Each structure stands twice: as structure tokens, then as C-alpha cells.
Chains A and B, each alone.
Chain A
Amino acid sequence: MKGLTGRLARVATLLLLILISHAVVAQEQRVIVIANVSVTTTELNSNQLRKIFSMRQTTWPDGQQITVFVLPANSKAHTKLCKDILKMFPYQIERLWNKLAYSGLGEAPIEVDSPEDMKSKIENTPGAVGYILSSMDDLDDSAIQIIGAE
């Protein structure tokens, strides 16, 4: 009887751990793309975002110039952006930006230090696009979260 109680307790503990781990997974943050209120585009697929973040597309469809803001290469948000959205390795995009900046071919994105800086820059720069980590589950992968005053 004592052995059965012990086994039940172990099974219950295991179930609890599984439930907790599911809860943690559900709360895990994902990266979302954010843009200034002046941007009229509301959805972009992975290919389009790759063109924007690799600086191959420099204007929005309405002609407005795109200003790209990025977080430090070692940040979790940047790693997730590369892996989950752009489908690139971080070193690949770093190589592209270096080539643009040091050959004069184009401009590299503007690096900001923190998610707070990112939000502030996106809110205050017309045509700006960037990304942050978010717990919001109700957004489609392709949706752009517009931030800033209406």
C-alpha cells in the first residue's frame, strides 16, 4: 500500500511538472515585427521581411523610405528574428550588413541598445521598422504590429 502511494505521488509530480512546462512554453516570448504608425503595409511574409532586413528593399510600396532598427547581435530577440522569421543564420545577415557598410554599397541598419530604445525609435521615426520580444499570442506570424500615436 505504501509502495502504491509512493508511485501515485511520483506520477502526480510528473504530471504537475508536465503541466508547468506546458504553461512555461505557452508563455514563452516570440519575436514580433513592429513599425511606425506612418507605415501602411500591415502584413509581410518571410521573404519580404528578409528583403527589408537585408536592406535589399529600402522603400515601402507607397514610396516612403524604410529605416531599419536592430537589436544587438547577441540579444535573444535578434537570434529569434533571424531564426524564426528571416530563416537565416545571424552570421549571414551580419556579413551582408558589413558588406553594405564597408563597401559603400548601401547602409547597414541602425543598432539600438534595448527593447525600450527600439520602441521609442520606431514610434518617433516615420517609415521605421524593427522587432521586439512579445508574449502576444493573437498575432499572425505575418502581421506587423503598428505602434505609436494614431
Chain B
Amino acid sequence: MNIFRLVLFVALLVSSLANVQDAFADDFKWRGFISQGLIQADESNFVDDHKDVSLRLTEVGVNASYRLNPKFRIAGQAVYLNGGNRYTEGVRVDFLFADIQIANSADWRANLHLGRFKNYHWLYSATRDIPHTRPSIILPQSVYFDQFRDVALGSDGVALVANTSNSLGEWDFNWSFGASPISDKQARNLLGDGAAGDLKQKFAHQANLVWKPASGVFHISLGFLDSEFKYDQAEQDTLIDGRADVNRIMIHSVYDAQDWQFAFEIFKERTIYKDLIAPGFINDSTSEGGYAQFRYFVNNDITLLTRLDIFDLDRKDRDGRIREAQFGGFVPAYFGFQDQATLGLSWDFTKDWRISAEVHRVKGAGRLAPLLMPDVVTNNSKYWNIYAFQLMHWF
């Protein structure tokens, strides 16, 4: 989409939403964001195959909610994204659901969400698409694998969001069951260009429990995910019918101090591929990953960030050498992991404008697409870097 047409479209939309808000007063609420950046991933296809400096770091979105009565609300958000190879370029509806309050007392509150809702279970999953709510331009790829963004962002189905308080502190419980549509382009990004068939997520089932003690300085969450994918072979296809089962256990925690914040998120994920490559083929492996992140608030406007992110595709083959041998040396060992060190700086130069800049030093290519048939020609370096700069505005 031409950037000028996009800006014109957003301006018209904002003007219409302002009129609607005037008509419905406080029951209708809307917000938006727009951002543009410069990004380069040298020696990898993370952003572009050509590896040069790119403008493909555009994120624009508008969300709105309308409350019909104290127990019923509708909320939705549409975004336009261009992230190069990171995800499919274009407009998508991130969420659109009915929010029904099923319990509300002094100690308990529970809501059901029906429709397309976001993933509420990971630390940044519910706002990963909103530039100014992220700690960095690029999120840690071990957990927030960009190629899987649209599948992991949310589901079409039903979610339960409940919270309560007692003498131990505050408790949040989130449960969801649904599935995400997967486009043909996404399927090819994940499985390789030769995948002409139909990839579907049959279901994603998630739950997590969050505890925040009365002091409020930290919270900790324990979560689970169970999901199944199905692949139907096309007439001309390099793959055959197959399926993948994914189980994940996750823990995340954040400690907040006046001038600094420490966060970590770790997971263990078992994936079983059946058939897909050849009849009777089975690959059962467990990947592990996570990150530790420290942010220092220099003042109200300037934040420094440092983070170490680690991902091993198979916990029994952390250096990737077994996989390299299985592929007859065709896939280098460094496709078996991806470790990433990040330094970042962000400056809120007004109350609704921010500039961020960051640099990532990466070892390995375990989180570069495609997954099943790695691009060993473009990603021919074990070490590579990401340089990113982003200007963002929210309203």
C-alpha cells in the first residue's frame, strides 16, 4: 500500500471515529498508533533477502470499543503491517469480540470473550503489535517468534478472563480455546516455498495463572499451551498430508522498582511432526528458550534496555550437530539455535511520541524462516546483527 494513501486513509478514519465518539460520549472509545522505522538485518533474511537497510518497519492501527451496558461490550482492532519477511504485509483484524461480564463482586470479576481475541497468556502477547507498549522494537524471538505472529497473537473462539483478590494478593486466571486462520503465504514462510497445500490450526488451548503479592512490586505467571496443526497436500506439492502437535509450558515474571525493571520469560515446547515429509515420518523434539531483560529508567522519558535471549531448537541437540548430520550436512549446525543479545534506548520526547533505537547481536539461525526447509543460501552466516530505529506516535 502506498504510504501516502495509508496516511490519508488513517486521517479519514480518525476523523470519522472522532465524530462517532462525540455522538456516543463515554460509551464509545477509540485509540490509534502509527509508526515507521528503518531496519537492517545483515547476513540474514530476517527482514529482507537483500540484507540492506529497509523501510519495511511500518505499523499502523486503530482500535475501538463500545459499551452497550455495564455487562456487555464490543471491542476490535485493525492494523496494517509491513515487516518485510517477518510477517505477511497487509491489513488484518487483530481482535473483534463480544465481552460479556459473567461475575462481578467486591472480590471476583469474570468476563467471557467470544470472537477473535488476543493471546492474554504471555508477558507481551496481548500488546505485541502496539509499538509503544513493547520494551523494544524487536521482541525476543525465542518466545515472540515473528514468523508465527498471526497464529500466536490470538484465536477465534472463546476466552475466560477472571481475577480475584485475597490476603495473599491479586490473582488473574486466563483460559482460551480457539484457532487462528493461516494464509497460504504464512504456510509457505513456515514450511518452505514448495508447500502448496493447506495448513490449518485445528485448535489452540491455553491457560495461565498470575499471582501478584499485596506489595505489588512483582508478579509471576505459570502457563500452558496445547495446539494441533493439520496439513493437506496439494496436487503439485513437495509435502504430503501430515500434522503437528505442540505442547508448551511457560513461566514469566516481572519485578518493578522505581528506577528499573527486571523481567524474564522461559518456556519448554514439545513438537511432534507426523508424516508431512514422508509416510511414517515422525519427529519428536523439545525446544527450550527464554530471555532475561533489564530496563533502567534514566528519567520519566528515557529508558535503557539490555536483554539476553536464548533458543535451542532441540534440547538434546543444543549445538545442532545431530540435525546437521541428519540433513547430510546440508543444514549447518547453527540452524539448531538462536541466541540474541540486545541493547536499546527509547526517548519519549512528548507525551505521545517516541523514538527508539536498538542493536541486536545474534548467534545462530534457529528462528529464521522457513522452519521446515531452512534457507541455507541466504542465511549463510552463523553471526549476524539487527540495527533498528523507529519513530512512533499514539493517539
A98, B133: Cβ atoms under 8 Å? Answer: yes
In the complex, the answer to whether A56 meets B126 with C-beta atoms within 8 Å is: no
Is the CB of A110 closer than 8 A to any CB of chain B?
yes
Q: Is the CB of A104 within 8 A of B127?
A: no
A84-129 residues at the B interface, CB under 8 angstroms? 87-92, 95, 98-99, 101-105, 107-108, 110, 125
Q: Do A99 and B126 form a contact, CB below 8 Å, given A51-B165, A73-B351, A74-B300?
A: yes
A56 touching B163, Cβ below 8 Å: yes
**Residue of chain A at shortest CB distance from B67:** A107
B259 CB to nearest chain A CB (Å): 9
Contact residues in A for B351 (Cβ distance below 8 Å): 72-74
Q: Does B133 lie within 8 Å of A102, measured CB to CB?
A: yes
Is B265 close to A, CB under 8 A?
no
In contact, B70 and A58 (Cβ under 8 angstroms): yes
B214 contacts the other chain (Cβ, under 8 Å)?
Answer: yes
Q: In the complex, which of the residues A50, A59, A103 contacts B70, with contact meaning CB atoms closer than 8 Å?
A: A59
Write out the residue numbers on chain B whose beta carbons fall within 8 Å of the beta carbon of A134.
Answer: none
Q: A105 to B101, alpha carbons, bound, how many Å?
A: 11
Binding site secondary structure of chain B: strand
Q: How large is the interface on B (under 10, 10 to 19, 20 to 34, 35 or more residues)?
A: 35 or more
Contact of B216 among A57, A61, A74, A88 (CB under 8 A): A88
By a CB distance below 8 angstroms, the chain B residues around A63 are 70
- CB proximity to A under 8 Å, residues B209-244: 214, 216
Q: How far is the CA of A5 from the CA of B99 in the complex (A)?
A: 77
Asked whether, in the complex, the Cβ of B126 is within 8 Å of the Cβ of A61, the reply is no
Contacting pair B77 A102 (CB below 8 A): yes
- Could you tell me the distance between the alpha carbons of A72 and B109 in the complex, rounded to whole angstroms? 28
Complex Cα gap A57–B107 (Å): 9
**Docked complex Cα distance between A47 and B169 (Å):** 10
Q: Which chain B residue lies CB-closest to A103?
A: B126
Q: In the complex, what distance in Å separates the CA atom of A73 from the CA atom of B350?
A: 12
Are A102 and B130 closer than 8 Å at their CB atoms?
yes
Give how many A residues have a beta carbon under 8 Å from the other chain's beta carbons.
Answer: 32
Q: Which residues of A contact B31 (CB under 8 A)?
A: 101-102, 108
Contact of B256 among A92, A101, A103 (CB under 8 A): A92
Across the interface, name the chain A residue whose C-beta is closest to B216: A88
Least Cβ distance of B311 to chain A in Å?
25
B-side contacts of A65, CB under 8 Å: 70
C-alpha spacing A92/B73, complex, angstroms: 25
Q: Which residue of B lies closest to A95 (CB)?
A: B133
Docked CA distance A63–B256 (Å): 33
Q: Which residue of A lies closest to B101 (CB)?
A: A58
| Known A92-B256, A98-B133: A105·B161 in contact at CB below 8 Å | yes
Q: Does chain B have a CB within 8 A of A67? A: yes
Q: Does B361 contact A (CB under 8 A)?
A: no
> Closest CB of chain A to B360's CB: distance in Å?
23
Contact B26 A110 (CB under 8 A): yes
Q: Mark B116-134, 1 if CB is under 8 A from A, else 0.
A: 0110100000110110110
Q: Does B68 contact A (CB under 8 A)?
A: no
Contact A104 B97 (CB under 8 A): yes
Instruction: Determine whether B306 belongs to the interface, using a CB cutoff of 8 Å to chain A.
Output: no
Cα–Cα, bound, A14→B293 (Å): 49
Q: Is A58 in contact with B104, judged by CB distance below 8 angstroms? A: yes
Residues of A within 8 A of B (CB): 47, 50-51, 56-59, 61, 63, 65, 67, 72-74, 87-92, 95, 98-99, 101-105, 107-108, 110, 125
Give me 12 other A-B pairs in contact (C-beta within 8 A), A56-B170, A58-B70, A63-B70 excluded: A47-B165, A59-B104, A61-B106, A74-B300, A88-B216, A95-B133, A98-B130, A98-B132, A101-B63, A104-B77, A104-B113, A105-B118
Residues of chain B having any CB pair with chain A under 8 Å: 26, 29, 31, 63, 65, 67, 70, 73, 75-77, 95, 97, 99, 104, 106, 109, 113, 117-118, 120, 126-127, 129-130, 132-133, 161, 163, 165, 170, 214, 216, 256-258, 261, 297, 300, 351
